[in-house]
Chains A and B, each alone.
Chain A
């Protein structure tokens, strides 16, 4: 085996340009696989972090009649949190309403939140310090669509517990900047007490955000969604995106493996006399097959070394400066920032290295099996078709 490596090494070094062309393409595929997956992993990590910080907390306790995907369930989906656990949750009340920026009607969700909370990153101190009658926080996306800015007033209409319409002017107390679109688009954040009194839903909440990690199995009238469950949806979405983004580098990998396969077929054809000589010198056919296989898989070792040489500084730089994400892709449905920072985990790198080596070895082994059936006399004459 050591001998095979020595021979293979010499052959590759001797083969010159063709070797380096194969190695370069393969190394590019190697670096791209790590980069794209690192980007997705970085996104996933950041999205998870942001979603926990802005939306999920340590899990959510939903009223059993509330379905986050059905706005009509808001009407019935609220209740009083059981007192035994009430202080373990941050209360959120959600109601429907509409605002009229520039005279256009826009449906919104009114979200009441405690002003002293520090479970979510929603900057509630701004609400607390506001003198306005109905102070409201909105996110940057909402500010953009409504063209509202801090200090603006706008007409709000909502229905109270009896179904009667009410209207009043609200004041934008502040605009926050969050990567999590779902707490931003179409959302108005306001003091919980205010919303409860406006709607006549005193003490009523739609959901609670867990302050600490714990397992709330069965609480009458409420259903608990753990942080992991909530994050799973997010990971699933990112996993789907991972697959679609893999097309690019898988094609790159396929091209480089095809080039390697081609090189192997050609080199076995061109080097028949050499193969015959190896056998005449006392190598078994299996040893020669091993030799050519090692030679092919050695391309992958070179590619990994080369890829590491230029990939490490390149990927490190990209991880440090981040990748700017065009505004158009901000509607990804998953928390996404203006700049993504790839994260290259040890597992990702190890698996990619393994993948490249195994793929290169298989692609080199297949043509080499031809040698096992070779007649050395014909090989020495260079007569194999």
Chain B
């Protein structure tokens, strides 16, 4: 099953209306990602990384072409179906964590499971496990405002991973972290990738992130410039 393609992009093009005309943010993207990949979109600012992640996450849809996520063409989904797709199959991690401020760490992580209508005992087990993955069991009752940047991003990882999604999309997850925290967070994600076979897709300019990736897709002006498979000499990763 490891060859299963969880993401299939065919001729994906995205244009935004700008003033009178249009701006092409993505131009004829053809990419596939298999289950369990640890890949990244890399490119200069404005190259279309976030736009592509949003399409894969079905928060946006392509102007042309087909984006098949978990076997579903996202352009054909209703609001409800795409919400369901995100809820069950896709986890998001944002540059600015986007934790819900009035919720405790525990409740932030629990949220997606509430939407899935999991029972209280199922939720508790999954949340505690997710907090263990990121080493934050002791912070369960804190509010996000009381956390450091690294802790906040780890909560965001726990929140995205608690439902064991097939795909995890992380848009510049380390941009607001110092080197030490960035490495800790990346290590956690790599471990989860190995353990749960979740497909990770990053967007980044960060060298530290690139060092962890198994595959780097270089984007420039909305096109794929290079699709590079990395073989790590360094076995510690």
| A309 interface residue per 8 A CB criterion | no
Residues from chain A with a CB closer than 8 A to the CB of B79 are 284-286
By secondary structure, the B interface counts as: helix
Inter-chain contact A282/B87, CB cutoff 8 Å: yes
A274, A282, A285, A380 pick with most chain B CB within 10 angstroms: A282
Inter-chain contact B103/A276, CB cutoff 8 Å: no
Interface string of A3-23 (1 = CB under 8 A from B): 100100011011100000000
Residues from chain A with a CB closer than 8 A to the CB of B54 are 377
| B229 interface residue per 8 A CB criterion | no
Inter-chain contact A282/B57, CB cutoff 8 Å: no
Bound state CA distance, A282 and B54, in angstroms? 14
By secondary structure, the A interface counts as: helix
Inter-chain contact B88/A10, CB cutoff 8 Å: no
Size category of the binding interface on chain B: 20 to 34
Inter-chain contact A279/B114, CB cutoff 8 Å: no
Chain A residues 275-294 with CB under 8 Å of chain B are: 276-277, 279-287
Inter-chain contact B60/A273, CB cutoff 8 Å: no
Inter-chain contact A14/B102, CB cutoff 8 Å: yes
Inter-chain contact B101/A280, CB cutoff 8 Å: no
Inter-chain contact B102/A284, CB cutoff 8 Å: no
Bound state CA distance, A276 and B79, in angstroms? 14
- A372 vs chain B, min Cβ distance (A): 9
Contact for A273 among B88, B98, B115, CB less than 8 A = B98
| A57 interface residue per 8 A CB criterion | no
Number of residues on chain A facing chain B (CB within 8 A): 24
Interface string of B58-100 (1 = CB under 8 A from A): 0110000000000000000001100111111000101010101
Chain A residues 259-316 with CB under 8 Å of chain B are: 273-274, 276-277, 279-287
Contact for B59 among A11, A15, A376, CB less than 8 A = A376
Bound state CA distance, A380 and B94, in angstroms? 9
Contact for B111 among A14, A273, A281, A375, CB less than 8 A = A281
Contact for A282 among B60, B88, B98, CB less than 8 A = B88
Residues from chain A with a CB closer than 8 A to the CB of B115 are 3, 281-283
Residues from chain A with a CB closer than 8 A to the CB of B88 are 282
B60, B86, B103, B159 pick with most chain A CB within 10 angstroms: B86
Residues from chain B with a CB closer than 8 A to the CB of A11 are 102
Inter-chain contact B102/A13, CB cutoff 8 Å: yes
Known: A273-B96, A274-B100, A283-B83. 7 other contacts (CB 8 A): A6-B114, A10-B103, A10-B107, A274-B101, A277-B98, A279-B59, A282-B116
Q: List 8 A-B contacts (CB under 8 A).
A: A13-B102, A280-B86, A282-B115, A282-B116, A285-B83, A376-B60, A377-B54, A377-B59
